[in-house]
Amino acid sequence: MEAFFDNIDRVIDGFSWTVRLTLFSALFSFLLGVLLTAMRVSPVALLRGVSTVYVETVRNSPLTLVLLFCGLGLNSALGLSLSGTVAWDVFWWAVIGLSAYTSCFVSESLRSGINTIPLGQAEAARALGLTFTQSLRLIIIPQALRTVIGPLGSVLIALIKNTTVASVAGLGVQEASRQMKLMFDQGIAPVLPTFVGFAIGFLVLTLPVGYLFGWLSKRMAVAR
């Protein structure tokens, strides 16, 4: 275990990238997910169609493919650069890929949340004369958000774990799992303690999120 703690700065560096990836991707995928959901239930048929096709396409592609597409396809083929330094350039491409992928799951959770809201709520909103945007913003989305806190927590946990895929070729963000692989390969720390150390690191990230969202979903549950 000593060799592992001698390299603790590398471990911390790895997890700092993991956390950064998670925070930015969570923010963007939430925003995009809400937008996709609003499109999915909107009165404009074309918006519904675009949203459905997007969600079904990206949700059914492997994340490795999505990130590889961002890394090799968009980054290299399009030649778009998002930041001056390579480390941040690949970071932002990874955030884009992870957000594009995760937003589909956010959207699916939100849609299932909307489906649990009793019909009377939307009918009452319409009867009061609220427009589509108003009834969505004031009545439907607040209640849907509260019922999907639990599922959204699962999506966030999945996102934390999915950030490891950002180490894929073409991106190669120096996040925790890549640091672990490098430490294995360079033989600077024994394998078993290194694995256990990184596993604990991930459990420290994922378990509290699980408990927090479980507690929140109980606390915020809509009483019916």
Partner 1 sequence: MSTQQVLFDAPGPKARIRHAVYTALTVVAFLCVLAVVYLGFNRTLGEGAPSPLSADAWRINPDGQWAAARWQPFLDPATWTDYVLPGLQNTLTAALTASCLALLFGLVFGIARLSDHAWIRIPAGAVVEFFRGIPLLMLIFFTMALPLAVNQLLPAFGLPPLTPGTFQVSALAAVVTGLTLYNGSVLAEVFRAGINAVPKGQAEAAYSLGMNKSKVMRLILIPQAVSSMMPAIVAQLVILLKDSALGYIVAFPELLRSFSLIGTRYGNVIPAAIICAAIYIAINISLSRLAIWLERRNARSGAQRGAAPPTAALTAPGNPGAPGSPA
By CB under 8 A, tell whether 188 contacts partner 1: no
By CB under 8 A, tell whether 16 contacts partner 1: no
Which residue shows structure tokens 């150390």? 197
Please, which residue, 39 or 95, has the CB nearer to partner 1?
Answer: 39
Min CB(184)–partner 1 separation in Å: 5
Min CB(26)–partner 1 separation in Å: 16
Give the chain as a 3 state SS string. Answer: CHHHHHCHHHHHHHHHHHHHHHHHHHHHHHHHHHHHHHHHCCCCHHHHHHHHHHHHHHHCCCHHHHHHHHHHHHHHHCCCCCCCCHHHHHHHHHHHHHHHHHHHHHHHHHHHHHHHCCHHHHHHHHHCCCCHHHHHHHHHHHHHHHHCHHHHHHHHHHHHHHHHHHHCCCCCCCCHHHHHHHHHHHCCCCHHHHHHHHHHHHHHHHHHHHHHHHHHHHHCCCCC
Stretch that binds partner 1, among 5-13, 60-68, 89-97, 216-224 (CB under 8 A): 60-68
By CB under 8 A, tell whether 73 contacts partner 1: yes
Please, which residue, 29 or 179, has the CB nearer to partner 1?
Answer: 179
- For partner 1, the binding residues in 123-152 under the rule CB under 8 A are 123, 126, 132, 135-136, 140
The span from the CA of 204 to the CA of 208, in Å, is 7
Min CB(30)–partner 1 separation in Å: 20
- For partner 1, the binding residues in 75-104 under the rule CB under 8 A are 76-80
By CB under 8 A, tell whether 28 contacts partner 1: no
By CB under 8 A, tell whether 186 contacts partner 1: no
Which residues here bind partner 1, judged by CB under 8 A?
41, 43-47, 50, 56-57, 60-65, 68-69, 72-74, 76-80, 114-119, 121-123, 126, 132, 135-136, 140, 157, 161-165, 167-169, 177, 180-181, 184, 187, 190-192, 195, 198-199, 202-203, 206-207
